[in-house]
Structure 1
Amino acid sequence: MPELPDLQVFARNLKKKLGGKKLHTLVLNTDKINTGPEAIVQAVHNHELTDVYRHGKELYFKFGHNTLAMHLMLRGQLHLLEGANTQKYTICELQFEDGTTLVLTDPQKAAKLALDPEDKEAPDALAETVTAHWLKEELSGTRKAIKDVLLDQKIIGGIGNAYADEILYDAGISPFSASNKIPEEKVEALSKSIRKVLTDAEKEILKAEPDIISGEVRDFLKVHTRKKATPKGEPILVKEGSRKTYYTESQELFK
């Protein structure tokens, strides 16, 4: 699943490629929408795309006074085409007047669309409000494992499985630590790691695939990787489950 750094790069590149173009036709092939298909089509038809941006794990396309949101979910992929769409598993097509088409596909049919979605209560992981003080307040009231808190989109938006592991490795905190037992200095380290890991990852993705609008670039990850050791030579441990957790013995456990 694309996470915050991936989507940040997708948004940048889609704005560069599609910004200023007028939408000619929107074709929907899904019922995972927050309103009737006619309302969505009418809201964006014949409007210029003025912005593409990201919040949490969603992409937002600004057309006039309306915004079309996309959540790619686990298997959603974006494709930029010139001419007819031959992609299988199409969820929607955004056909622009110049002949360019943006296609969203998903073999699981789980990708979701929304017209003018409500503002999220949870801050984005890169928001200025995500400070050490804010994080301390959030963690103080729960014994949930810290990784589970980082993954909870109702608490903080944009972090997924891979980057939760990377952030906790960078901060030196075991993913199994009880959130309210993490000392203040480690919470401060965690807040710094959130921003550092996510912004560094965006730079690495752009360096490797400057024009990417879909897929994942993960070769640079330090702990959430198929390699057996981190760049420091630490053995990587893997806990199996509904999602795998990658960590090292050097990460301190607070309980």
Structure 2
Amino acid sequence: MPELPDLQAFSYNLDKKLAGKTLKHVAVINAKKLNVSHQELQGTLEGQKLDKVYREGKELYLKFSKGDILGLHLMLHGKLFLFEEKNGNKYPIIELHFTDGSGLALTDFQGIANPTLNPDDKEAPDALAKDGGVDYLTARLQKTKTNIKTVLLDQKIIRGIGNAYADEILWHAGISPMSISNKIPEHKIKELVRSIHTVLTDAEKAILKANPDIINGEVRDFMHIHNSKKTHSPKGEKIIVKEGTRKTYYTEEQELYS
């Protein structure tokens, strides 16, 4: 599943390519979870100019000239494709056709990628937002005995972080993923917040450097810890892989708070 840095890179490139174009037609092919009727989606968006494309949590937001927003959640296997005149990509969910003949398609072979018209505001802060900083995380972690990795993955607590980047962030901060959240001292929470910003922003830069035009897929080769091709951390410590519903990559150099 694309995570925050991937979606940041996608939104950057899509905004460059599509902002300022006028939407001619919305084709809804297989949007099972669309929150409005096909007719309402078309009636609301068609004829509007696309003002900008940006990221919110794990979604891409397309904001139009009248203030309406089309949210796109790629889920596990959703992909985005630009096309000219006609979409030739398989498994389309929705297609946006612009007046200049260009278009954007959201596809998913599982059929569960999810477009939403005017998504509800989310209570949880974005991982890169100011309101998700030290004060927020300190107060939030004091309330839970759940392990810290589970907290970072909970989109109702902080939005945008997924499995791979949770491992990278926790290694960078020197905190074991099995640490109990309310046992982590305040000075380490400050390090955690710094690591969230450093790891995620550096990852976006690495992704765009590796693939300047990326709008789908995942670039992971640069990752230090959550990387099946690596056996040791940059500090020389063996990488341990804990199996489960999600694999967790960590090292013994990360401190356990319990």
TM over 0.5: yes
Instruction: Report Cα offsets for 1:58-89 as digits up to 9, x if no partner.
Output: 00001222110000000000001123212111
Which residue of the partner structure matches residue 63 of structure 1? Answer: 64
**8 A contact 2:32–2:112 mirrored in 1:** no
Q: Does 1:45 align with 2:42?
A: no
**8 A contact 1:55–1:124 mirrored in 2:** yes
**8 A contact 1:123–1:130 mirrored in 2:** yes
- Tell me how far 1:185 sits from its aligned partner: 1.1
Give me the whole-angstrom Cα distance separating, in 2, the residues matched to 1:228 and 1:83: 47
Instruction: Report Cα offsets for 1:226-250 as digits up to 9, x if no partner.
Output: 1111222221100111110000011
Equivalent residue runs for 1:223-234 within 5 Å: 223-226=225-228, 227-234=230-237
**8 A contact 2:60–2:71 mirrored in 1:** yes
Equivalent residue runs for 1:124-143 within 5 Å: 124-143=126-145
- Pick aligned residue for 1:250 from 244, 250, 253: 253
Give me the whole-angstrom Cα distance separating, in 1, the residues matched to 2:83 and 2:238: 43
Equivalent residue runs for 1:166-181 within 5 Å: 166-181=168-183
Q: Does 1:165 align with 2:161?
A: no
**8 A contact 2:62–2:69 mirrored in 1:** yes
Give me the whole-angstrom Cα distance separating, in 2, the residues matched to 1:213 and 1:254: 39
Which residue of the partner structure matches residue 5 of structure 1? Answer: 5
Q: What is the number of residues matched between the two proteins?
A: 255
Give me the whole-angstrom Cα distance separating, in 1, the residues matched to 2:138 and 2:192: 10
Match of 1:129, SS? helix
**8 A contact 1:44–1:64 mirrored in 2:** no
1:34 aligned partner, one-letter code: N
Where do 5+ consecutive residues of structure 2 fail to align?
none
Which residue of the partner structure matches residue 207 of structure 2? Answer: 205
Instruction: Report Cα offsets for 1:185-206 as digits up to 9, x if no partner.
Output: 1111101101111111111111
Where do 5+ consecutive residues of structure 1 fail to align?
none
Which residue of the partner structure matches residue 32 of structure 1? Answer: 33
Which residue of the partner structure matches residue 105 of structure 1? Answer: 107
Q: Does 1:16 align with 2:19?
A: no
Match of 1:92, SS? strand
Q: Does 1:236 align with 2:239?
A: yes
Match of 2:192, SS? helix
1:236 aligned partner, one-letter code: I
Report percent identity of matched pairs: 58
Match of 1:61, SS? strand
Instruction: Report Cα offsets for 1:121-177 as digits up to 9, x if no partner.
Output: 000000011221211100001000100000000000000000000000000000011
**8 A contact 1:89–1:106 mirrored in 2:** yes
Match of 2:191, SS? helix
Deviates more, 1:227-236 or 1:143-152: 227-236
